[in-house]
Structure 1
């Protein structure tokens, strides 16, 4: 009898253990599912991560920077939301629209194919006249204030490290940011014809003025429609030296740019 009671108790304990294990698994799956749903909502509606593969926004953004882009800053368009065909877009192709501001760094879909992600700075607003003269930016025929500061070390046209001229540029409205002139003030795009920005479009430029394919090149980028904007760059959450894959965690102590982590973007 005693042996039977022991066997019965053992079976009961095993059953309880199995029930507890299954309950634990279900709870883990539930928590995991909730976390996945939250992450999906955040990425879809609030913040989307991007990484910087080119040097067009040096010195503000470097190759190897990873950043969060706020998708709600300009409202939503078919290029920033899935299932967008069911949304009540306005005439400008957006819902809850808020216009980009001069000086914003924004991600947009390249107008040429409406698919490739580009990131540049908003320089010209609808109706503005934009021109480059001897490396100096003119907005509505007024030269933008530019102050020369210490040179910046960057990659030259042949992959070599070079020191280039660096300036603080202050746009109308008060946004101050750094720009570099790798080829001095007489690079290919340092002298242009005037551009008049059409209604509903924006003029985008890189801070690396001699190494940026942007709105100055009408055949490659040109004026960017408002509906092509995906969001505004907000914060660098990770940064690693150019040429070092982010997944190589054993290189992080020496290669991560620790001072750039969690810095806001201006």
Structure 2
């Protein structure tokens, strides 16, 4: 019939192809950006053990920000990954929470942790069974950080000579993100 144009409502194949190509390019850019961030600003680590439970669990994979502490000092409540010499030439990698910073005093008495003579409420707020080396008050020197596990009665941490205090140089970085297993993906506070 004259005067009528035929319209097609089927998607044009070139539009579909363009969308697929754009999607693939977007995915490649995101992957490259992720690799760049991990390579230059962080590392991934695997949590071994339950000393940081309930905050971090055994076998979780975490992203560790290795850049921030080049600009600022570690702070109380930061969860950090650090390396400590365990034998001559061998290092262990640990994940713990900073509870005291340079100049602070630390002591465990009557099953409670005291920071600067004030009770520090641990994550589970349980009675601490083993005071380790801090049954008497200890003052942290410059560049000494005191770290504990959130599961304090199941943690090898700064209370014990095997770990002791941690220096900024030993700190790898701040735990930032849980990325595996998938059901636990979350930022870490």
The separation in 2 between residues aligned to 1:37 and 1:136, in whole angstroms, is 47
Q: Which residue of 2 aligns with 1:6?
A: none
Q: Which residue of 2 aligns with 1:162?
A: none
Q: 1:192-238: CA deviations, max 9, x gaps?
A: 22221111111111111111111010x20111111111110011111
Q: Which residue of 2 aligns with 1:137?
A: 113
Total equivalences in the alignment: 159
Question: Does the CA-based 8 Å contact 1:123-1:203 persist in structure 2?
Answer: yes
Deviation at 1:134, TM superposition (A): 2.5
Matches within 5 A, 1:132-211: 132-144=108-120, 146=121, 169=122, 178-179=123-124, 181=126, 185=127, 187-189=129-131, 192-211=135-154
TM score, norm. by length of structure 2: 0.74
The separation in 2 between residues aligned to 1:212 and 1:186, in whole angstroms, is 11
The separation in 2 between residues aligned to 1:132 and 1:60, in whole angstroms, is 22
Query: Residue 128 in 1 paired to residue 123 in 2?
Result: no
Query: Residue 45 in 1 paired to residue 40 in 2?
Result: yes
Matches within 5 A, 1:80-159: 97-112=71-86, 115-144=91-120, 146=121
Q: Which runs of 5+ in 2 are unaligned?
A: 1-27
Q: 1:133-177: CA deviations, max 9, x gaps?
A: 222221111222x4xxxxxxxxxxxxxxxxxxxxxx4xxxxxxxx
TM score, norm. by length of structure 1: 0.54
Q: Which residue of 2 aligns with 1:64?
A: 59
Query: Residue 230 in 1 paired to residue 172 in 2?
Result: yes
- The equivalent position to 1:73 in structure 2, one of 47, 68, 71, is 68
